[in-house]
Chain A
Amino acid sequence: MKRAMISVAKWAWFGLLMLIAFGYMASGLSKPGEVDENETPTGVRQVSAENAVLDGAEQLAETRIPTLDAAAGASSAQLNSSESVDSIESVVDAVNLARQQAMLDAEVESAPTADWMTICRRLSLAMVGSGMSLEEIRHLESLPASERESAHLESLLHDGRFHDYWGERWMRYLVNDEGPFLVFRRRRFGHWLSENIAANRPYDAIVRDLITAEGLWTDRPQVNFLTVTFDSNDGSPDPVRLAARTCRAFLGLRIDCLQCHDDFLGNVNLGDADDRRGGRQQDFHQLAAFYSSAKTNGLQGVRTEDVDYKFQYLDADDTVDVEATVPYQSDLLPQDGNPRERLAHWVTHPEHRQFSRAAIHRFWALMFGRSITDAVDNLPLDEAANPVLDPIIEDFQSHRDIHRTIRIIAATDAFRADSKADYEITARHENNFAAFPLTRLRAEQVAGAITQASKIKSIDRQSSLLVQLMRFGAINDFLKRYGDLGENEFSKDGITIPQRLMMLNGNVLNEAAKSEPLLNTTGHLKSFAKDDSLAVDVAFLCLLNRHASEAEVEYFADKLQQADGRGNGLVDLFWMLANSTEFAWNH
């Protein structure tokens, strides 16, 4: 009896402790300071159509919320306030003027403006990682031609698929690797990024949150920016990796080599704007020292303590205390305060142009699918700025508004230019913004485009769980085989033989193309397309996001007639379209 009582008492004591710990975390006490008002996501959702119709736009238009109005009405107050500050038109005009000058200097002529469907496909690929669904196309066709691009852009800006996709793309440069078990929660981190992008939090606020993150990785998702480095620093944030990541991700600077030695090869230039100097080993470690203030403190997660960084420099006899300071523009660094808050303040300071420059280069690359420089995270301080991007960088310095920046880029002549013309397009045209650059779709864009093309309706968060799971599974399988570029996501490589083999004979495309009654595109077409010409045209819309030309309708309708059954003919058509250059490249 006595033993039983003791056992009960022990368990009760244990339960009480657990309750206290849980209550502590749930109360938010694990985060010092006030709750960030900006953190509430809005995540305006778009409503999918209940039914898709193969040959009519009108019914579909009625089943979908008119996105321009919806966006205007449902946008967060923050979004509206940023929109009302000033117009983006002057910025777009300045970019277009600089583009004109670049073309003049390069002696190249601009390609004509692309048609609205091509531009909308570019927006979809860049923002949600797949082409447009037939449902979206039919809806846009129901709108006046002049409104379609902006309607689609606004719709995407408030589409959960955009927030999730950009959250995933951001993770590539913020954390990249899988991180240590348990203490790095990739999904939590991705979801937090997605929420911030949905709420259109100012970019500098997001970056400050990452650098100054405190608390538990489960309770405060931004802490995962730090915990991903736990494995190399005995369970605490690793100052060295975080310094390198901060420079690359937020400043577009590669100073990793300074970790081991001074720059004796002339690769790293630091110093003030007018007084460049070679990078020193001290520059790297003094920056890393800021992160030495981040310590793991049991159930409280990451906390801030004093800077405690010691290092033995190359060829030095002794280990020395390293002061936390920054490699250039030190006048922007606050003298006092929490070490990581000082660093965050310097990184995101409005006068720290390199921060805005790095962000705009990255957003531009995300929209176009390629960087205008060799590497998006290698923007030397002594390199001349690109005049075309300059107006956007200046705008970003004052607004820090992600959605606004996307609107600006999408509205530029460079983004809207065609990739073809009635004269010979060359790489010179592309490099001087005269024609939209042909860029290979990333692996997940190809997979996303295949799975989306296999369905008439948009696959989004409102799709059935089964459809979402199928999409998730198909993309994961595809990524493993097709090759994920990871951090090198903007490399300018051509398509490869293994990738072509996978598209010619692989399972993902085979599954997407096969005719299943009512469940997928070929099944729908087989059952409901009233004639072969319509079936061909709809297949082109689903896969290539454009109408088939007369010659194409004639050619492929004839192919359908010759096929061994309409179902097989449609499967073949799906295969041919998905295997084309046009499908696999953004144009």
Chain B
Amino acid sequence: MLTAIANQLAFADEVAKTDPHQRKNVILLWMEGGPSQLETFDPHAGTKYGGDVKAIPTSVKGIEFADTLPRTAERMHLGTLIRSMTSKEGDHQRAVYNIKTGWRPDPTLVHPAIGAVLCDEFRETLDIPRHVSIVPGQWPAKGGYLGPIYDAFKMGDPNSPVPDLKARVDAARMEQRLAGLDFLESQFRRGRLSDLDQNRTLHESSTKAALRMMSSEQIDAFDVSGETAATLDAFGDTPFGRGCLAATRLIEAGVRCVEVNLNGWDSHINNHSLQSSACETLDPALAALLDRLEERDMLKNTLVVCGGEFGRTPTINPAGGRDHWPHGFSMFLAGCGIRRGFAYGETSADPIVDSSDPKFSPTVNIDKPVTVGDLHATIFKCLGVEYDREIETPVGRPLVRVEGEPIEAILA
């Protein structure tokens, strides 16, 4: 759900190990609900399943987007488009878990999300949380077996400051209060869970993190109100747009992973209208985000990932909607070592959609299928995380970080 940054306090001495100029970060633009590949990055306009969109050229010759993303199309040269994502999860909650962690849900183990892995791999001190989720959806990123201290810090629309940051008593009295609180905590800990705070309550570590935030200048990174009207306008007058702008500020301030959520993609009815509406919010924000990162020379160390838990069916149902489809959907990546101006994989313009057809298989309609594990291995390689390292999980089970291999073709 939300996060603490207690690990930063515990590992303060390791700051020197991290060169801020080489620090790798990630911004995850999370399209919760399942965006339609056909109405965004992989149109098959004019075909049986193409729907009502038109295809438009992008800044890269031979790659076309749907006409719902005109501004992003002009930035295609900055990144790579994967059009052949596949997964085995068609339920929202399970699929979100799958894409965010790289693993299918497992009753014996909860896996960490990308941001949690990154923060655990590179421990450093910061006054504000290093893993942030802006306008979070139903299932924001979590720490999983790395511990809830790596859960994303949830915040709302960045148009208002983080509340309750000012103490109600003077510093001396606050110090007295905190001393009393410490005394109480020491009494409560006796005889209880040995890892009470780190792996269960987060109470003390969250308190410390909150106190650090109260006195930190880094807190300004959350507030976009000081940005120019032109900048705000470029990102779009939406919580998601402001979230993308805040994401760049937070990365500059030292945050490792920012997840910005955009709902509205689950178009079981009126697919074209809902997808177009969501794209109106996504398009300016994504384009402006890429521009800003490029202008500030941040794109070389900041990975941008844009996608959702699955795509949508080629077939349009009787209600004019498209249903869940994990057999060929799109994911856009840019920065941090990702090849520029490239499209990887493709989906058939005339797919076999009947699962009872003997010719049908989950990958029959896809060229160069990419698994969720492959995507995660690629992301971790870009971020400098050992994707193939074996981890000793809390249940005593050794587990490789990711079951997949990097897609070398999309790495610069």
A residues neighboring B (CB under 8 Å): 254, 256-257, 260-262, 264-265, 267, 312, 314-315, 319, 374, 419-422, 424-427, 430, 438, 440, 481, 483, 491, 493-502, 504-506, 510, 549, 551-552, 555-556, 559, 562-564, 568, 572-573, 575-577, 579-582, 584-585, 587
Q: Are A267 and B91 in contact, CB atoms less than 8 angstroms apart? A: yes
CB-nearest residue of chain A relative to B107?
Answer: A374
Per a CB cutoff under 8 Å, which of A262, A421, A440 touches B355?
A262
Q: Are A505 and B166 in contact, CB atoms less than 8 angstroms apart? A: yes
| CA A254 to CA B93, docked complex, whole Å | 11
CB-nearest residue of chain B relative to A256?
Answer: B91
| CA A451 to CA B150, docked complex, whole Å | 32
List 3 tightest A-B contacts by C-beta distance, closest first.
Answer: A496-B2, A494-B202, A420-B191
User: What residues of chain B lie closer than 8 Å to A312, measured between beta carbons?
Assistant: 317-318
User: What residues of chain A lie closer than 8 Å to B295, measured between beta carbons?
Assistant: none
Q: Are A497 and B3 in contact, CB atoms less than 8 angstroms apart? A: yes
Q: Contacts A319-B318, A494-B203, A575-B177 known; list 11 others, CB within 8 Å.
A: A260-B317, A315-B355, A420-B190, A420-B192, A425-B194, A494-B1, A496-B1, A497-B3, A505-B168, A580-B203, A585-B201
Q: Are B201 and A261 in contact, CB atoms less than 8 angstroms apart? A: no
| CA A524 to CA B364, docked complex, whole Å | 75
Q: Are A496 and B201 in contact, CB atoms less than 8 angstroms apart? A: no
Q: Does B300 contact A (CB under 8 A)?
A: no
User: What residues of chain A lie closer than 8 Å to B199, measured between beta carbons?
Assistant: 427
Per a CB cutoff under 8 Å, which of B89, B166, B193, B206 touches A500?
B206
Q: Does B296 contact A (CB under 8 A)?
A: no
Per a CB cutoff under 8 Å, which of B163, B177, B185, B194 touches A501?
B163
Q: Are B204 and A581 in contact, CB atoms less than 8 angstroms apart? A: yes
Q: Does B184 contact A (CB under 8 A)?
A: yes
| CA A19 to CA B194, docked complex, whole Å | 70
Q: Does B148 contact A (CB under 8 A)?
A: yes
Interface centre among A420, A421, A568 (most CB of B within 10 A): A420
- What 0/1 pattern do residues 113 to 138 of B give for CB contact below 8 A with A? 00000000000000001000000000
| CA A261 to CA B200, docked complex, whole Å | 38
Q: Are B2 and A498 in contact, CB atoms less than 8 angstroms apart? A: yes
User: What residues of chain B lie closer than 8 Å to A421, measured between beta carbons?
Assistant: 191
Q: Does B315 contact A (CB under 8 A)?
A: yes
User: What residues of chain A lie closer than 8 Å to B197, measured between beta carbons?
Assistant: 581
Q: Does B268 contact A (CB under 8 A)?
A: yes
Q: Does B162 contact A (CB under 8 A)?
A: yes
| CA A585 to CA B2, docked complex, whole Å | 17
User: What residues of chain B lie closer than 8 Å to A502, measured between beta carbons?
Assistant: 163-164
- CB B252 to nearest CB in A, in angstroms, measures 20
Q: A267-B94, A505-B165 are in contact. Are A497 and B129 (CB under 8 A)?
A: yes
Q: A256-B91, A312-B318, A506-B164 are in contact. Are A559 and B180 (CB under 8 A)?
A: yes
- CB A215 to nearest CB in B, in angstroms, measures 30
Q: Does B88 contact A (CB under 8 A)?
A: yes
Give the segment of B77-85, B209-217, B343-351, B384-392 that binds chain A: B209-217
Interface centre among B181, B214, B268 (most CB of A within 10 A): B181
Q: A502-B164, A576-B180, A582-B184 are in contact. Are A257 and B91 (CB under 8 A)?
A: yes
Q: A498-B2, A500-B207 are in contact. Are A580 and B167 (CB under 8 A)?
A: no
Q: A257-B91, A315-B354, A438-B193 are in contact. Are A576 and B200 (CB under 8 A)?
A: no
- CB A582 to nearest CB in B, in angstroms, measures 5
Per a CB cutoff under 8 Å, which of B89, B193, B206, B356 touches A495?
B206
| CA A425 to CA B318, docked complex, whole Å | 56
Q: Are B193 and A426 in contact, CB atoms less than 8 angstroms apart? A: yes
| CA A412 to CA B148, docked complex, whole Å | 30
User: What residues of chain B lie closer than 8 Å to A420, measured between beta carbons?
Assistant: 190-192
| CA A419 to CA B196, docked complex, whole Å | 11
Per a CB cutoff under 8 Å, which of A419, A510, A556 touches B168?
A510
Q: A495-B203, A505-B166 are in contact. Are A314 and B323 (CB under 8 A)?
A: yes
| CA A481 to CA B156, docked complex, whole Å | 11
Q: Does B151 contact A (CB under 8 A)?
A: yes
B residues neighboring A (CB under 8 Å): 1-5, 88-91, 94, 107, 129, 148-149, 151, 153-155, 162-169, 173, 176-177, 180-181, 183-185, 187-188, 190-194, 196-197, 199-204, 206-207, 209-211, 213-214, 268, 315, 317-318, 323-324, 353-356
User: What residues of chain A lie closer than 8 Å to B185, measured between beta carbons?
Assistant: 580-581
User: What residues of chain A lie closer than 8 Å to B151, measured between beta carbons?
Assistant: 493-494, 496
Q: A425-B194, A438-B201, A575-B177 are in contact. Are A580 and B184 (CB under 8 A)?
A: yes
Q: Are B181 and A579 in contact, CB atoms less than 8 angstroms apart? A: yes
Q: A256-B91, A264-B355, A556-B180 are in contact. Are A494 and B206 (CB under 8 A)?
A: yes
Q: A497-B209, A504-B210 are in contact. Are A260 and B324 (CB under 8 A)?
A: yes
Q: Are B165 and A559 in contact, CB atoms less than 8 angstroms apart? A: no
Q: Are A498 and B162 in contact, CB atoms less than 8 angstroms apart? A: yes
Q: Are B196 and A438 in contact, CB atoms less than 8 angstroms apart? A: yes
User: What residues of chain B lie closer than 8 Å to A559, measured between beta carbons?
Assistant: 176, 180
- CB A230 to nearest CB in B, in angstroms, measures 17
Instruction: Identify 10 residue pairs between A and B in the complex whose beta-carbon atoms are under 8 Å apart, listed by A's number.
Output: A262-B355, A267-B90, A422-B191, A426-B193, A494-B148, A494-B151, A499-B206, A504-B211, A506-B164, A581-B185
User: What residues of chain A lie closer than 8 Å to B356, measured between beta carbons?
Assistant: 315
Q: A498-B162, A504-B210 are in contact. Are A424 and B324 (CB under 8 A)?
A: no
- CB B127 to nearest CB in A, in angstroms, measures 11
User: What residues of chain B lie closer than 8 Å to A256, measured between beta carbons?
Assistant: 91
Q: Are B201 and A265 in contact, CB atoms less than 8 angstroms apart? A: no
Q: Are A314 and B315 in contact, CB atoms less than 8 angstroms apart? A: yes
Q: Are A496 and B153 in contact, CB atoms less than 8 angstroms apart? A: yes
Q: A264-B355, A319-B318, A426-B194 are in contact. Are A498 and B203 (CB under 8 A)?
A: no
User: What residues of chain A lie closer than 8 Å to B214, measured between beta carbons?
Assistant: 501, 504-505
Q: Are A261 and B2 in contact, CB atoms less than 8 angstroms apart? A: no
| CA A436 to CA B196, docked complex, whole Å | 14
| CA A262 to CA B94, docked complex, whole Å | 16
| CA A563 to CA B180, docked complex, whole Å | 12
Q: Are B180 and A573 in contact, CB atoms less than 8 angstroms apart? A: yes
Q: A497-B4, A581-B204, A585-B201 are in contact. Are A260 and B164 (CB under 8 A)?
A: no
Q: Are A496 and B163 in contact, CB atoms less than 8 angstroms apart? A: no
Interface centre among A421, A497, A572 (most CB of B within 10 A): A497
- CB B152 to nearest CB in A, in angstroms, measures 10
User: What residues of chain B lie closer than 8 Å to A549, measured between beta carbons?
Assistant: 187
Q: Are A491 and B1 in contact, CB atoms less than 8 angstroms apart? A: yes
User: What residues of chain B lie closer than 8 Å to A497, measured between beta carbons?
Assistant: 2-5, 129, 153, 206, 209-210, 213
| CA A425 to CA B189, docked complex, whole Å | 11
Q: Are A505 and B167 in contact, CB atoms less than 8 angstroms apart? A: yes
- CB A585 to nearest CB in B, in angstroms, measures 6
Q: Are B203 and A572 in contact, CB atoms less than 8 angstroms apart? A: no
User: What residues of chain A lie closer than 8 Å to B188, measured between beta carbons?
Assistant: 580-582
Q: Are B353 and A315 in contact, CB atoms less than 8 angstroms apart? A: yes
| CA A495 to CA B176, docked complex, whole Å | 23
